[in-house]
Amino acid sequence: MEILMSILAGILFATGVYLLLQRQLLKIIFGTALLSHGAHLFILTMGKLNRGAPPILVEGIEDYVDPLPQALILTSIVISFGVTSFLLVLAYRAYKTNQTDNMEHLRGNDHE
Amino acid sequence: MSNLVILPILIPLLAGAILVFWRKKLMVVRVGAQLVTIINLIVSSYMAYVILQDGPLILETGGWMAPYGIILVGDGLSIVLVVTTNIIAVASAFYAPNSLDKGREEHYFYTFFLMLIAGVSGAFLTGDIFNLFVFFEVLLMASYGMIVLGGTKEQLRESIKYVLLNLFSSILFVTTVSFLYSVTGTINMAQLSERVGQVNQDGILTTIAILFFVVFATKGALFPLYFWMPHSYTKPPAVISALFGALLTKVGIYSILRVFTLIFIGNIDYTHTFFIFLAGFTLLFGVAGALSTNNIKLIIAYNIIPAIGFMVMGIGIFTDLSVAGAVYYLIHDMIIKAALFFLVGAIAIAAGTSDLRKISGLIKHYPLLGWLFFIACITLAGIPPFSGFIGKLLLLKSAFANENFIVAGIGLLASLLILISVIRIFVQGFWGESMSLPTEKRSIKPLYFPISFLLFFSILLGVGAEWFLPHIQQIGVDLMNPSGYVDAVLKE
C-alpha cells in the first residue's frame, strides 16, 4: 500500500512540475496545487499506513495509529489553501494590470 | 519552562491583529506600531540578558513534554538574532511613516510588518523542524502581503515569481520534513540531533540534509538559487526592501546554521566541503551582479548575495572560530543591509530617481546624508574599526587556519569589489556637478533618525567588539557542541 501511495504521490509531483513549466499562469497555479497534494499524500505515506486504535490510552489496546502525520497534513493543507487562494487573486490582478497571463511576457527588462 | 520565550512572537502578532481596526486613523497605527516595536525590543533585550547569564530558556507549549509537543528554545544564537530583528523593526517603524505613501500605509502595511516580525522571531525561536516550516509560512505570507502592496505593474510582475518560487520551496520543505520523519520518527530538533548522531549519517540522511540545504539556500539566495532575489526585493518601497533584505534571506541562513550544526553533522567531509565551494561562487556572482547595474537599489540588493557567501563559508569551514565569525557577520549584515536600503531610499527621494547615471553632486545639498552613506559603505566593506571588519577577520582567520586559501582569497577579492560597488554610488552620486533637484518631494529629515539609529548599533558592534565578542565566541562554541542544546531541551 505504501508503494502504491508513493507512486501516486510521484505522479502528482511529476504532473505538478510539468504544469509549473507552462507559460500560462493558471496552469502554473494548478501545478502548485497538484504539487502540494502530492506533498500531503507523501506525509501520510511516510507516517506508515497501518490500521489501529485512536492514539488515546485505553487498557487492553496496544495498536495505536501515529497521530503526528495527520497533524502535520492538517497544518500544511491550511497553509497551501491560503497561499493558493492568494495566488489566484494575485494572478487575476497581475493579468488585469499587465494585460497578459503569459509568463514569457512577464519577464520585464526594467527601465534601464 | 518560561513563558518569556513566547513574548517576542506574541506581542507583534497580537498588536498586528489589533491595529487592523484603525487602518484609517494613521496616527494611531503609526504610534501603535512604534510603541509595540520598542516594547518588543526591551522585552527581547531583557530575555537576552537572562539567557546570556543563565543559559537557554525553554517553553514547552501546552505543557507537552519536550520530544512530544512543540517547544520554543531561546538559546544564545536565537536571542541575539531576535534582538537584532527588533532593532531593525524599531528603525523601520520610524522610517515607514516618513517614506511610504498614504495608500500603502492605510492598506495594512503596519499589520503585515508586525506579522513579519512575529514570523521571523518565531523562526529563530522554535525548536521543532515542522514548526520552523510554519513560521516560514507566517513570515512569507506577511511578505507576500508587503510585496504586492501598492499594486504597481512591476511589483505585480515580480511578486508572481517571488510567490511561486517560495511556494515551490515550501512544498519541498514539507516533503523533506516528512522524509526525515519517516527515517527518524521525530521532528523535534534536539531529538533529531540525538537520533541522527546514533545511526551515523548514511546515504539517505545525507540526501535529506542536502534537500534541506536546497530549501534554505533558495530562501537565503545562495548560488545558484539567487536569481529571483534582486529584482523582486527592489520593486517595493525602500522600507519593505530593507525588511526583506535584512530579515528574510537571513532566516534561511539561520536555518542552515542551525540544522547543519545541530542535526546533520555526521558527514561533514561531504556536506560542509560542498558549502565552501558554493560560498566561493556565491561571493563572486553576487559581487559581479552588484557591479553590473546602475540602479542604486539593485546594487544594494545584489550586495546581499556576497554577504550570504561569507556566512556560508563560515558554516562550511566548521570550527568554533568560523561559526562564531558567521554569527557575528550575520548580525552585522542584518543591521547594515537595513541601513543601506534606508539610505538608498532616502537618496532616491532626495534625487527623485534611483538611476545612478542621473544623480550627481548631492553632497552640496545633503552633506549629512552623504557622510552617513560613506560610513555605511566602509562598514559594509569591513574597514576597521567598524563591525564588518570583526566578522570578516574571524572568518578569514579560520579559513587560513584550515588551509582554505582559495575561498579566503575569493573572500578578500569580493570585499574589495563590494567596496567598489557601493563607493561608486558615493563617488558618482555625491560628488561632481550639482544636479537639479526635483522641486516637489518629501523632506528626508525625519529619515535621518532611523538611519543613524541603525548605524549607531553597527558602529557599536565594531568599536565595542570587546563586549560582544566573548558572547559571540561562546555562541560559536555552543553551536559546535550540540549536546548542550540537546541536554537543555530534553533535560537528561
Out of B130, B152, B154, whose CB is closest to A72? Answer: B130
Interface with chain B: mutation pick from A13, A83, A87, A95, highest number of B CBs within 10 Å = A83
Residues in chain A predicted with pLDDT less than 70, given as ranges, are 108-112
Cβ–Cβ pairs < 8 A, chains A and B? 100
Out of B137, B164, B182, whose CB is closest to A79? Answer: B137
Cβ of residue A104 closer than 8 Å to a chain B Cβ: no
Search chain B and give the residue with CA nearest A35. Answer: B171
Cβ of residue B481 closer than 8 Å to a chain A Cβ: no
Out of A46, A47, A91, whose CB is closest to B160? Answer: A91
Say which residues have a Cβ less than 8 Å from residue B131's Cβ, sequence separation at least 6.
Answer: B70, B122
Rounded to 5°, angle at Cα A47 from A41 and A51: 100
Grid cell 516637489 is found at B440
Cβ of residue B149 closer than 8 Å to a chain A Cβ: no
ipTM score over 0.95, yes or no: no
Cβ of residue B170 closer than 8 Å to a chain A Cβ: yes
**What CA–CA distance (Å, rounded) separates B3 from B209?**
32
Cβ of residue A41 closer than 8 Å to a chain B Cβ: no
Three-state SS across chain B?
Answer: CCHHHHHHHHHHHHHHHHHHHHCCCHHHHHHHHHHHHHHHHHHHHHHHHHHHHHCCEEEEHHHCCCCCCCEEEECHHHHHHHHHHHHHHHHHHHHHHHCCCHHHHHCCHHHHHHHHHHHHHHHHHECEHHHHHHHHHHHHHHHHHHHHCCCCHHHHHHHHHHHHHHHHHHHHHHHHHHHHHHHHCCCEHHHHHHHHHHCCCCHHHHHHHHHHHHHHHHHHCCCCCCCCHHHHHHCCCHHHHHHHHHHHHHHHHHHHHHHHHHCCCCCHHHHHHHHHHHHHHHHHHHHHHHHHCCEHHHHHHHHHHHHHHHHHHHHHHCCHHHHHHHHHHHHHHHHHHHHHHHHHHHHHHHHCCCEHHHCCCHHHCCHHHHHHHHHHHHHHHCCCCCHHHHHHHHHHHHHHHCCCHHHHHHHHHHHHHHHHHHHHHHHHHHCCCCCCCCCCCCCCHHHHHHHHHHHHHHHHHHHCHHHHHHHHHHHHHHHHCHHHHHHHHHCC
Cβ of residue A46 closer than 8 Å to a chain B Cβ: yes
Say which residues have a Cβ less than 8 Å from residue B444's Cβ, sequence separation at least 6.
Answer: B98, B346, B349, B350, B366, B369
The per-residue pLDDT string of chain B (492 residues; one tens digit each, 9 = 90 and over) reads 688 999 999 999 999 999 999 888 899 999 999 999 999 999 999 999 999 988 899 998 888 887 888 999 999 999 999 999 999 999 999 999 998 888 888 899 999 999 999 999 999 999 999 999 999 999 999 999 999 998 888 888 889 989 999 999 999 999 999 999 999 989 999 999 999 888 877 788 999 999 999 999 999 989 888 888 998 999 999 999 999 999 999 999 999 999 999 999 888 888 899 999 999 999 999 999 999 999 999 999 999 999 999 999 999 999 999 999 999 999 999 999 999 999 999 999 998 888 888 888 888 889 999 999 999 998 888 888 888 888 999 999 999 998 889 999 999 999 999 999 999 999 988 888 887 787 777 888 899 999 999 999 999 998 888 899 999 999 999 999 999 999 988 875
Enumerate the residues of chain A whose CB falls inside 8 A of the CB of residue B231: 108, 110
Q: Which long-range contacts (CB under 8 A, 24 or more apart) does B54-60 make?
A: B55/B488, B56/B485, B56/B488, B56/B489, B57/B2, B57/B4, B57/B5, B58/B1, B58/B2, B58/B5, B58/B127, B58/B488, B58/B489, B59/B1, B59/B2, B59/B3, B59/B4, B59/B5, B59/B6, B60/B1
Which residues face B73 on adjacent strands? Answer: B58
Search chain B and give the residue with CA nearest A47. Answer: B182
Out of B156, B171, B294, whose CB is closest to A39? Answer: B171
The pLDDT value given to residue B37: 96
Search chain A and give the residue with CA nearest B185. Answer: A47
Cβ of residue A86 closer than 8 Å to a chain B Cβ: yes
Cβ of residue A43 closer than 8 Å to a chain B Cβ: yes
Cβ of residue B357 closer than 8 Å to a chain A Cβ: no
Residue ranges of domains in chain A: 2-54+63-98
Query: Would you call A75 and B134 a contact, using CB atoms and an 8 Å cutoff?
Result: yes
Q: B112 CA to chain A: closest CA distance, Å? A: 15
The pLDDT value given to residue A112: 40
Integer-rounded Cα Rg, in Å, for chain A is 20
Out of A38, A76, A90, whose CB is closest to B163? Answer: A90
Query: Would you call A42 and B178 a contact, using CB atoms and an 8 Å cutoff?
Result: yes
Out of A47, A80, A93, whose CB is closest to B156? Answer: A93
CATH of domain A2-54+63-98: 1.10.287
Determine the angle formed by the axes of helices B482-490 and B249-262, rounding to 10 degrees: 90
Enumerate the residues of chain B whose CB falls inside 8 A of the CB of residue A38: 175
Cβ of residue B182 closer than 8 Å to a chain A Cβ: yes
Interface with chain B: mutation pick from A76, A81, A102, highest number of B CBs within 10 Å = A76
Q: A72 CA to chain B: closest CA distance, Å? A: 8
Helix or strand holding residue A26 (H, E): helix A25-46
Out of A40, A68, A94, whose CB is closest to B157? Answer: A94
Grid cell 532616502 is found at B346
Rounded to 5°, angle at Cα A48 from A45 and A54: 115
Amino acid at B296: I
Say which residues have a Cβ less than 8 Å from residue B279's Cβ, sequence separation at least 6.
Answer: B309, B310, B312, B313, B316, B407
